[in-house]
Structure 1
């Protein structure tokens, strides 16, 4: 036998109490993984506190205030009385009908910047110039836009003079109850589609150009390329633009309404946000205005979720 086989075996190193030595690296790994899990929460905490403090908590207070009374009953709980008054008001019902009209016109408001972004992405002649021209209205104040279009759409304004030269009778763009809401919405779309255009262009940056090359090799027309390549590839972008455009239509048209029609003629251009301002700012009924604000929030929530669901099902069918 060799000397190595006769030598006694060395005992395993013992820990402080005579047991096995603790696995130090595993403890450090567990501590590191715990820190990694907590790090995102720590980074998100300031933003969450701001959202809760400045958004969610005021929303809760507003909903609670909508169940109280106005005037002599200020602070008294009145249940759903404000909501009954709200839906019994012809002006608010007109505002709701106009919301339905906006939802119907929403695809057009999204398709316009989407098509223009497609043409710019495909580098039509002058695409760099068009990018700046299309975005320029987005930097203008709604008050300025409204004042400009008040002059253009006046009964004796340039647009009616142009139509007269073509043999078409003048249109009372802002004085006809059946036309005014379309005029205001059209001006709003013109003034704001530049932001949606930028979002679409950002979405095109993620588009796989090889798909467009394959469509061109297969001889696909432009409508076929848009339907079968561009739309499925930009589903997320389209969802985002749909929701933000809808929110803009429902909450950012006050300036145009105030300058162009002041809710007229005969209340035909009322929208919920304008109705809220009238109740709060002119009629001094803050509780009723809170009820209208809550109704507007629920409308945006339901319509937004419905739009996302429809777009997701459409994307699933395309896949």
Structure 2
């Protein structure tokens, strides 16, 4: 009996020790797993920031920091006053300069012509998406001007639009008097803008075609079944469905018109006649490269940046409101 009584007293102790060890091991593994899970969740939260950090650093170093330096430099003087703070003197001088006021007026003209610059590639992309006869050929032809250098485009149209060029020869054959396309101050800016639209709408066309790839074709099928005309399909189906794409094209086209026309202006008109084709970017180049006035050029650059920022934000707001109304 003593032996029999001793045996049960030993087994619970051994079982307890074994259970305690198992429980401790299980608790240890659970704690390790929770720590790994916690570490994994922290890593997942930090991963996006780590991936974005190099691009953000490049933007800050190569974009934002030079921008801030340029803004600060615009409040200093040129020549003998180089590095000396002059307040808003550069900005006052800019708005007193008739050439700069002409450049700002031409910016207003670009804003007015912007819907045309966006509508042309939008309509052409619509016809290609609807597979009009020869759409594959048109798609390649429409994009071809986008690969040409602005200098080459400007030289080609200088020949075409010359006073004794082919265009006036054709007009003369039908009894129309020759027109000085690039020498008339009232026409020259329209010619340069038209050439720029022709040379660059291929990129916007590609963006529109990418937007059409996300369009729900069942909406078009439903519109056809209901007997909707092409203008009705455009206004009630395509434009609302491509609202984000249209916003993107509007903003990028506006930026391109304000900052990418220097080559055409330089080759086709050099700012003339009578300064009628000046744009802020051309004015900036003149002040920096020929007049050696970097502080004044920095002030003009700051104004151009503010114009692009304000116009871009207004475009986005107006397009969002139009999309909600549709």
Give the TM-score category using the shorter length: over 0.9
Distance in structure 1 (CA, Å) of the matches to 2:299 and 2:166: 42
Q: Is 2:240 the counterpart of 1:232? A: yes
Would the alpha carbon gap of residues 15 and 293 (structure 1) be closer, same or farther in structure 2, given more than 3 Å must change? farther
Distance in structure 2 (CA, Å) of the matches to 1:175 and 1:278: 20
Between structure 1 and structure 2, the one with the greater Rg is 2
Instruction: Return 5+ residue gaps in structure 2 as ranges.
Output: 1-10
* 2:80 counterpart SS class: helix
Residue in structure 2 matching 1:288, options 293, 296, 309: 296
* Structure 1 equivalent of residue 36 of structure 2: 28
Distance in structure 1 (CA, Å) of the matches to 2:31 and 2:182: 80
Distance in structure 2 (CA, Å) of the matches to 1:167 and 1:73: 59
* Structure 2 equivalent of residue 4 of structure 1: none
Q: TM-score, normalised by structure 2?
A: 0.92
Residue in structure 2 matching 1:277, options 278, 285, 289: 285
* Structure 1 equivalent of residue 308 of structure 2: 300
Note the C-alpha offset of 1:181. Answer: 0.2
Distance in structure 1 (CA, Å) of the matches to 2:167 and 2:77: 48
Q: TM-score, normalised by structure 1?
A: 0.94
Distance in structure 2 (CA, Å) of the matches to 1:47 and 1:55: 11
* Structure 1 equivalent of residue 223 of structure 2: 215
Note the C-alpha offset of 1:284. Answer: 0.4
Note the C-alpha offset of 1:28. Answer: 1.9
* Structure 1 equivalent of residue 169 of structure 2: 161
- Measured on the aligned residues, the alpha-carbon RMSD in Å equals 1.9
Instruction: Return 5+ residue gaps in structure 1 as ranges.
Output: 1-6
Q: Could you report, residue by residue, the CA deviation over 1:165-223 in whole angstroms, capped at 9, with x for unpaired residues?
A: 23322211100000000000000000000000000001100001111111111100011
Residue in structure 2 matching 1:107, options 81, 100, 115: 115
Distance in structure 1 (CA, Å) of the matches to 2:23 and 2:59: 51
Distance in structure 2 (CA, Å) of the matches to 1:124 and 1:236: 25
Residue in structure 1 matching 2:259, options 251, 258, 272: 251
Distance in structure 2 (CA, Å) of the matches to 1:196 and 1:210: 25
Count how many residue pairs are aligned between Structure 1 and Structure 2.
Answer: 312
Distance in structure 2 (CA, Å) of the matches to 1:272 and 1:157: 30
Distance in structure 2 (CA, Å) of the matches to 1:214 and 1:32: 48
* Structure 2 equivalent of residue 196 of structure 1: 204
Counterparts of 1:2-151 in structure 2 under 5 Å?
A: 13=20, 23-151=31-159
Note the C-alpha offset of 1:13. Answer: 3.6
